[in-house]
Structure 1
Amino acid sequence: MKNFLLHTFTWWNNYTIGTLVALRGFKKVGEDEFGNVYYQGGKSSYGLPKRWVVYAGYADASQIPPGWHGWMHHRTDIAPSEEDYKPREWEKTHRPNMTGTAAAYRPQGAIEALGERPRVTGDYDAWTPGN
């Protein structure tokens, strides 16, 4: 019952019943290492095939690996599942956005950063009116 309610009312968590209806007639193209499933079918208004991803869990577009990202955006017609795709050495693995969490990036000197702020070195003179 819980899964039925989740798939009925939440769009951000995996798929909805409406998504399943919309994907009727689409062909499953493949799956990535995160468990995201990719589909293709029909034609867009530009005449290109429609491509769709159903996320495994929370919908986060940054979870699409580089090879699948290129396929989703029509940079290539060959899906990574149809070829022996190897990521390039400069392609980074997915890191979720950590903003708002304890693991968020905090540059040196930020109020939230741990440790002490560096002391002023004397190379700064405060502005005063009339000088």
Structure 2
Amino acid sequence: MRSILSLITWWNRETLGMRWFTWRKGTKVGEDADGNQFFQNKDGTRRWVIYNGDVEASRVSPDWHGWLHFTWNETPEDAPLPHKTWEKPHEVNPTGTLNAYAPAGSLRQATPASRSDYEAWQPE
């Protein structure tokens, strides 16, 4: 099933063409905590990620994001970045999911709060 999906979709992991290109030209340089695999070509001019699961750019941690965009040359495995005590761990962007922020009174909440300071307009 995975092979069939890779022929016609790009959002279910890598496509067949990307798998072929990675096999021919790619060198694996590391893997993050989510299981995403990071590659570069032999001369180091191209870098890419093969996601473990859904293709979602916010799943790449800031450490690996910097490496992917040539901000630094060493991978986070070779030269880990120093983290401050006040830094929060990386989280995936929840927009469009059930974990997304819903303000008080939102229709997405299970029981929207009733408002006593609001009266709906009714046409006459």
TM-score (norm 1): 0.73
Cα deviation, residue 42, structure 1: 5.7
Cα deviation, residue 87, structure 1: 4.1
Match of 1:93 in 2: 90
Going from structure 1 to structure 2, the CA distance change for 1:92 and 1:119 (only over 3 Å counts) comes to farther
Cα deviation, residue 17, structure 1: 1.6
Match of 2:15 in 1: 16
Q: Which 4+ residue blocks in structure 1 deviate beyond 4 angstroms?
A: none
Match of 1:64 in 2: 60
| Distance in 2 (alpha carbons) for counterparts of 1:32 and 1:116 | 41
What root-mean-square deviation, in Å, do the aligned CA atoms of Structure 1 and Structure 2 show?
2.4
Unmatched 5+ residue regions in structure 2? 119-124
| Distance in 1 (alpha carbons) for counterparts of 2:100 and 2:55 | 20
Q: Which has the larger radius of gyration?
A: 1
Residues 41-75 of structure 1 show CA distances to partners (whole Å, capped at 9, x for unaligned) of: 267xxxx7211000001100000011101111111
Unmatched 5+ residue regions in structure 1? 122-131
| Count of residue pairs brought into register by the alignment | 115
| Distance in 1 (alpha carbons) for counterparts of 2:82 and 2:31 | 15
Match of 1:107 in 2: 103
User: Does structure 2 conserve the Cα–Cα contact (< 8 Å) formed by 1:30 and 1:39?
Assistant: yes
Going from structure 1 to structure 2, the CA distance change for 1:5 and 1:79 (only over 3 Å counts) comes to same
Q: Secondary structure at the match of 1:33?
A: coil
